[in-house]
Every structure is written in C-alpha cells, then in structure tokens.
Amino acid sequence: MTGRLCREDRFAAVLGSARPRVVGALTRYFRDLDRAEDAFQTASLRALGSWPERGLPDDPVAWLILAGRNAGIDAIRRNRRTVPLDTDQISDGLDSEEAALERIELDDYRDDILRLLFICCHPAIPQSDQMALALKVVAGLSVREIARAFLVTRKAMEQRITRAKRKVADAGIPFATPSLAERAERLGTVSGHLYLMFNEGYASAGEGAHIRAPLCEEAIRLIRLLLRLFPAQSEIMGLLALCLFQHSRARARLDPDGNIILLDEQDRGLWNRTLIDEGRVLLEKALRKHRPGPYQVQAAIAAVHCAAPCAADTDWAEIDRLYGALESLQPSPVVTLNRAVARAKVAGPEAALALVDGLGDALQGYLYYHGVRGALLAEIGDLKAAREAITCALGLAATAAERQHLEARLAAL
Amino acid sequence: MLYSILIYAAEAELDQLDQKAEEAILARHGVLQSHMRASGGLGPFARLMSTSAAVTIKPGEGKPLVIDGPFAETKEQLLGLYLIECDNLDEAVAAASLLPTDIGSIEIRPIRYFGTGDLAGAKAAEQSG
C-alpha cells in the first residue's frame, strides 16, 4: 500500500456513517429492530453491487432507506405465505415512497437515531447487554468484535444480543414523536449509557485492556454522532470533552504489562494533546451557555489535570471547588470521596478524613473508599488504622493488578 | 501566484475510516508536502477540529448571534487547508491532485491578499499535530 485509499474503503465509510440514520428510519417503518437490521444488511449488499458501477448516489442515506424498505417489504411478502401478515406492524408511510423520503428532515433523523439508542438502553436489559446491543445495532460492530470487547465467546454474545432484542420487542418500542420533555429525558438516558460504555473500556486493565480499548473509541464516536445531532446541548459537549480528556491519557495510563499507572505517576508527555485541545474547546463552548451540568463539571475537573505540566502543579484548590459544585449538582458519596482527595492536597489529611469519615456506611463495599482512607491515615501517622483500611480494600480487590498494587502499599506501611 | 487548497469531506464518513485508511490519507498529505517543499512553495497548512467544536456568528436583532456548529449544514465539511505557491493553475491542480480525491472534494481558490501574520501559538500547534 503506497498511501492509496481504495474505493471499498470509501463505500464502507459511507455505509458505516449512514447506518444509524438508515437503521433508525427503517426501525420506525417496520417497528421491528431485527427486520430493520436485516433490511439494512440487504440494502448494503445491493449498494456494494450497484455503487461501484453507477457511482455513489447523491444521497446515499435516502438510497439506502429506500432499498432497505423495499428489501424489508419483500421479506414480509415472502413470509406471508407461512405467517399471516400483521399490517398494523407497518407504519402508514409505506404507500408513498417519495413523500416519505421528503419528510425525512434532520429532525426525523435526530429522533430516529435517538430512539434507536434509547431502545438499546431499555431498563429490562442488563447494562452490559445494553452496550452490546448499541454496538451491534447502532455502531454496526460484528458480533465477533463485540464478543471480543466483552471477553466472551461469539456464541455467548450472540445469545445475549438475541435475548436483549427479544426483551426490547416484548417491551414495545416508543414510536410517537417525542415531546420536548421526553426528548430531553431520552438524551439524558442515552448520554449516561454512552458514558458507561466509555468507562467499560476505560476502567479495564490487565490483559483485557488492549482488547477493550475499542469500547472507548466507539463510545466517543457515538457521542460525536449525538453532538452532531444536538449541536447546542452543553451537557453533550461536556460529555464529549470529558471522554476526550480521559482518552487522551490512554497511552500513559498502562504499563507494558497492562497495569494501571496512577495519574500522579504518568508520563504526561504521552498524553494526546490533540484530544486535550479539542476537549478544552468543547468545554469552553459549553460553559459559555451558562447551563452547568455534571458532565461539564467532571470535564472541568479533568481539564484541570490536563492543564498541569506535572502532578505537583495541579491546581487542587480548583479541583476541590469543582467537586463541591459536582456535589451540589449530583450528590453522591463517591463524589465526596473524590473531593476528599482534593481537600487533602489543599488543607491536609485531617480535613480530608473529616469528609471521609461520614461516608463509611455508604461506601463500606467500595475498594477506593478504604484505599483513600488508608492513605490519609498513613499520612497522619496512624499506621495501625491505615493497615486495617488497606486490608479491607484488599478484601474487595477484583483483579490481580489491584491486589498487587494494594499488597505493595501494605508492605510499605 | 498563491493558492489555497480547501479540503472538504463528510466528517461522519471520516469517523468510520480505520487506522489503515487514515494512514493512507496522511501518507498522501506527506507526498503533497514534500512535493511543495521541494519547489519552495509550501506555505502554512492546517487541519481543522470537528465542526462540533465550531461556533458561527450570525446577524441577530440588536447584537450578533453566536450559534453552535458550522456555518451551514452541508453534506461535506471544510476539514483543512493549505496555502501553496505555484506558477499557474495547472501546477496548483497537479499539486492538489496528490491528495486523496476519492473521499471528498478539494477546492483550489487563488489568494487575493495574504498577510504573513505573527503567530506565537503556531509552533505549539505544529508540535501537537
């Protein structure tokens, strides 16, 4: 390859970028996720047969929706011989193709894609299966790729996705155009879902780390898609900024064995400045709107870390203040625990312990609670209590990397 | 004559390219850059951030409106640009044709006035790529 981009790459990129819109529209027509996916699949095959000869259509998305609708209708007709057709399953728009296509304006695409993502977040489906479903249906990853990312066999993932789809079908899909309030609610749910997907990839360490990194990239890609659809939403800007800041450290946060390197000890020269710059711009844009939200505040915290040339230069007073803001927006013991870490740097370990002491009931089963408490107790010289705290943390360690890290700390006490 | 090369493509499509395809595109940019360097005709060039990072200022009532996103909703977005110096349009077209031409459109627009500027931040931006 001498830097030549083949036409197949282009077609694949067009199909990939059209997919959420097309599957979203087809799901609205057929009211059936499986049928929509199959129809898209058939339409894509037809495209790959036709485009190389006739060239790209002016509007590939409309072309694919039309081809997909025809393919879906054909499939229904074929099945009709054996299964009686339930005409109620198909929405009214089918009579007039042109009119239907003309109606698909940006607003429809927006709601179609949002609906598609929202369907995947159905509360009846376990969280990891929600992600798998979104990766399959919206992002268009193959079952094999998804299975790899979740460290399970292809067959197991196949079953999980089938089960998730059945649950979605049983639950009924909300097809009416959402009201403003419903749209905002869906956006909130979908944003949270995509952040979980990002974290699912980000939090992984050990041998799974490299395999799971694509989850971060897919999540960022989907958040970008969401922001293109809702370009004025400050919380989506904040969410994208937050993920870009976190992802900028990807190369610095794992050692060659895949163990996590803590923020303080990372080689900041390895941080991806391009991602950090983009995150900064998005955060600035979001803050101009004066509509603060948890993602913006978390992005602001990440931005403070990214702005420090070395760990010692970190503006902990600003981070303490921002965690205070986050506590009032979204009170949670984990947020308070994080604030305590910043408070320790600003006001010393005693002040931090005063914050941490109130969290014992809520965070008894949370490894980092005991880890942070142990570090603070060690700092004030209460080694016995520190050892007890780290021992508690050790009891909660889920991975070999965590265990190793805590054992080293225990030995150092 | 100074020309600008304005590069357009659909962001959503570029988002779908795998690393190999991305490297193929970068390699073509490398070819253009060394070609123009050889003739002493390579001016400043820039890759723009995604249009989601953009704001657009439009006339409003009383004071201008600042709107999120690019100037217009178009299928292809302006992604980057070069300034080059060539003897004539044929040369400029030949140079721009070194870039990948099958993922979007490339506009060659002659420069009417060019100020060299005095960018302190440009060196830093060059580092970060």
Q: A215-228, pLDDT tens digit by residue?
A: 999 999 999 999 99
Q: Do A209 and A62 form a contact (C-beta atoms < 8 A)?
A: no
* Nearest CB to B103 within list A3, A5, A221: A5
Q: Is the pLDDT of residue A100 over 60?
A: no
pTM for the model stands at 0.89
Greater pLDDT, A194 or A260:
A194
Q: Taking 70 as the threshold, does the pLDDT of residue B14 lie above it? A: yes
The pLDDT of residue A86: 54
Where do we find the tokens 């408070």?
Answer: A343
Q: Tell whether A121 is covered by a domain.
A: yes
- Residue that finishes a domain, picked among A249, A271, A305: A305
Total count of domains within chain A: 3
Residue A79: its pLDDT value, please? Answer: 78
Partners of residue B17 in chain A, C-beta under 8 Å: 9, 13
Q: Do B66 and A288 touch (CB under 8 A)?
A: yes
Could you tell me the pLDDT band of residue A97, with boundaries at 50, 70 and 90? very low
Domain contains A346: no
Chain B CB contacts of A10 below 8 Å = 13, 102-103
Taking alpha carbons only, the member of A78, A8, A66 closest to residue A42 is: A66
Q: Is A248 among the domain residues?
A: yes
Asked if residue A335 is part of any domain, the answer here is no
Confidence at residue B10, expressed as pLDDT on a 0 to 100 scale: 93
A1–B14: do the CB atoms touch at under 8 Å? no
What whole-number percentage of chain A has pLDDT above 90?
Answer: 66
Which of residues A86 and A294 earns the better pLDDT score? A294
pLDDT at A93: 42
- Confidence tier at A151 by pLDDT (50, 70, 90): confident
Q: Is B76 on the interface with A (CB under 8 A)?
A: no
Of A5, A14, A281, the CB nearest to B100: A5
**B18 vs A158, more confident:** A158
Asked whether the beta carbons of A220 and A264 are under 8 A apart, the reply is no
Q: What pLDDT is attached to residue A360? A: 87
Residue A26, CA distances (Å) to A59, A72, A114, A269, B80 in order: 16, 9, 13, 46, 34
Distance CA B99, CA B25 (A): 8
Asked if the model's pLDDT at residue A172 lies above 90, the reply is no
How far from A37 is each of A60, A139, A176, CA to CA, in Å? Answer: 17, 12, 20
Over residues B46-66, the pLDDT tens digits come to: 999 999 999 999 998 999 999
Question: What does the H/E/C string look like for B68-124?
Answer: ECCCCCCCCEEEEEEEEECCCHHHHHHHHCCCCCCCEEEEEEECCCCCCCCCCCHHH
**A5–B69 CB contact, under 8 Å:** no
Q: Please check whether residue A61 is in contact with residue A18, taking contact to mean a CB–CB distance below 8 angstroms.
A: yes
User: Using an 8 Å Cβ cutoff, are B85 and B15 in contact?
Assistant: no
The reply to whether A338 falls in a domain is: no
Q: Is B20 on the interface with A (CB under 8 A)?
A: yes
The overall average pLDDT reported for chain B is 91
Mean local confidence (pLDDT), A113-130: 90
Shortest CA gap B6–chain A (Å): 19
Q: Are residues A55 and A99 in the same domain?
A: yes
* B106 domain residue, yes or no: yes
Residue pairs spanning A and B at CB distance below 8 A: 79
Residue A244 has pLDDT above 60, yes or no: yes
In a domain, A15, yes or no: yes
Q: Residue A122 domain-assigned?
A: yes
Model confidence at B85, pLDDT cuts 50, 70, 90, reads: very high
Q: Do B73 and A7 touch (CB under 8 A)?
A: no
pLDDT at res. A95: 43
What size, in residues, is chain B?
Answer: 129
Q: Is B12 on the interface with A (CB under 8 A)?
A: yes
Q: Do B49 and A16 touch (CB under 8 A)?
A: no
Query: Long-range CB contacts (< 8 A, 24+ apart) of A403-410?
Result: A404/A259, A405/A259, A405/A260, A406/A371, A409/A371, A409/A374, A409/A375
pLDDT value, residue A84? 53
Task: Say if the Cβ atoms of A17 and B103 lie within 8 Å.
Answer: no
On whether any CB of chain A is under 8 Å from the CB of B90, the answer is no
CATH code where residue B20 lies: 3.30.70.1060
Q: Establish if B54 belongs to a structural domain.
A: no
Domain edge (last residue) among A55, A80, A104: A104
Q: Which of A5, A17, A291 to mutate to test the interface with B (most CBs of B within 10 A)?
A: A5
Q: Find the domain containing B81 and state its range.
A: 2-49+75-115
Helix (H, G, I), strand (E, B) or coil at B67: strand
**What pLDDT score does A124 carry?**
87
Residue pair A238/A295 in contact by the 8 Å Cβ criterion:
yes
Closest approach of B112 to chain A, Cα-based (Å): 30
- Could you tell me if B58 lies within 8 Å of chain A, comparing CB atoms? no
Average pLDDT over chain A, rounded to whole?
Answer: 88
The predicted structure's pLDDT at residue A76: 86
Yes or no, beta carbons of B11 and A228 under 8 Å apart:
yes
For residue A31, which of A86, A70, A71, A82 has the smallest C-alpha distance? Answer: A86
Of B16, B31, B129, Cβ closest to residue A13:
B16
A199 and A126 within one domain? yes
| Cβ-based contacts of B48 with chain A (< 8 Å) | none
Region A4-8: what's the mean pLDDT? 69
Cβ contact B15–A221 (<8 Å): yes
Task: Say whether both A121 and A81 belong to one domain.
Answer: no
Amino acid in position A120: C
Q: Structural domain tally of chain B?
A: 1
- Domain residues for the domain of A268 are 232-305
Token pair listed for A300: 């602001």
